[in-house]
Amino acid sequence: MRAALERIRQAALADLEKCESPAALEDVRVRVLGRKGELTAVLRGMREIADAERPAMGELANTIKAEVEERIAAIRAQLEEQRLTKSLAEERIDVTLPGVRFPRGHLHPLTQVLDEIVDIFVEMGFAVEEGPEIEDDYHNFEALNIPRDHPSRDMHDTFFVSDDRVLRTHTSPVQIRVMESRQPPLRVIAPGAAYRHGDDDMTHSPVFHQIEGFLVDDGITFGDLKGVLSEFLRRFFGPETRTRFRPSFFPFTEPSAEVDIGCVMCAGSGQQAGGEPCRVCKRSGWMEILGAGMIDPNVFGFVGYDAEKVSGFAFGMGLERLTMLKYGIGDIRLFFDNDLRFLRQF
């Protein structure tokens, strides 16, 4: 048995020196020291040898087992050190190299333009207010001088949530809610989303954004309205921007006006480069930009204001339209498609 144990030791140590990977090392360990290994088989045969020789053989077997285990541990540590050294050599980082810059996100073009508009009006003394996007019929229509049988309701293409709840068709309900809760003087703009069921094409979307604005105080005139809006349009589109006011109709303002600016596509000439008619202004040299007017006294009645003591004006503009005109964008759907080729331009 002594000779068998010595053969096992010599073969195991020789095979261990040839191991170049943890897997090969594990194979030798299992072959020699495993439950069915060579050394284990010898130890199981100890009961067949003479009692006088058994202690010496047991001590030798344990010595060989400890020697092989120690050598396995040493080689395993050596292989791990080699692996780590190789890994460090192959994967080392040169800290002197410049870092990799990840592209930063940026604000959506509608948000950029909205921020610009809000900044202009805030500098003019207006506060910013918001309201619910699901409105009751009273605030969305009734209190704005649009009773249930009024024909102008047909122009709103309303999404109904219930018999008395709608997705607001404009941001004008914020005007009513603010005036219900506060007394003049008031200077407020109310930006936000609005919803109308209609065409989904290059110039229309079922969800869009408006900026409602109004000013209420003693002695407010149409001249104040013209001054505020003309100043805003010149600051937004440029100091040379021409403006004009045309008579119009809105249920909640009287008198009412449509506000035009000189066409930004053809510089008001009515013609594009090469003499072709301007498709945006249709040769007129003017573009409709927003609606406005003096707040109807009936609206003041709904909020408890005395129309004999206060007056005011209101206006509303479409954020998408302003952005399209400012940047020469021809399709409103680009704002909602999330196409990075489009968004990266802003």
Element spanning 321, H or E: helix 319-327
- In terms of Cβ atoms closer than 10 Å to its own Cβ (0-12, 13-18, 19+), residue 172 is buried
pLDDT band at 1 (very low <50, low <70, confident <90, very high): low
pTM of the predicted structure, to 2 decimals: 0.68
Condensed to tens digits (0 to 9), the pLDDT of residues 280-331 reads 777 788 888 999 999 999 999 999 999 999 999 999 999 999 998 888 888 8
Q: What single string gives the DSSP state of each residue in 7-59?
A: HHHHHHHHHHHT--SHHHHHHHHHHHHSTTSHHHHHHHTGGGS-TTTHHHHHH
Q: Which of 95-99, 150-154, 164-168, 272-276 has the highest mean pLDDT?
A: 164-168
Condensed to tens digits (0 to 9), the pLDDT of residues 61-93 reads 778 788 888 888 888 888 888 888 888 777 777
Percent of the chain with pLDDT over 70: 97
Give the mean pLDDT of 196-221.
Answer: 89
Would you identify the CATH topology of the domain 109-343? BirA Bifunctional Protein; domain 2 (3.30.930)
Separation between Cα atoms, residue 260 and residue 277, nearest integer Å: 19
Separation between Cα atoms, residue 168 and residue 135, nearest integer Å: 6
Tokens of 342: 């489009």
Please name which of 105, 93, 98, 1 lies closest in space to residue 45, comparing C-alpha atoms: 1
pLDDT band at 234 (very low <50, low <70, confident <90, very high): very high
Strand partners, 186: 216
Q: What single string gives the DSSP state of each residue in 142-166?
A: GGGT--TT-GGGGGS-PPBSSSSEE
Strand partners, 258: 246, 291
pLDDT band at 346 (very low <50, low <70, confident <90, very high): confident
Domain range summary for the chain, segments of one domain joined by +: 2-91, 109-343
pLDDT at 198 over 80: no
Q: Are 307 and 297 in contact (CB under 8 A)?
A: yes
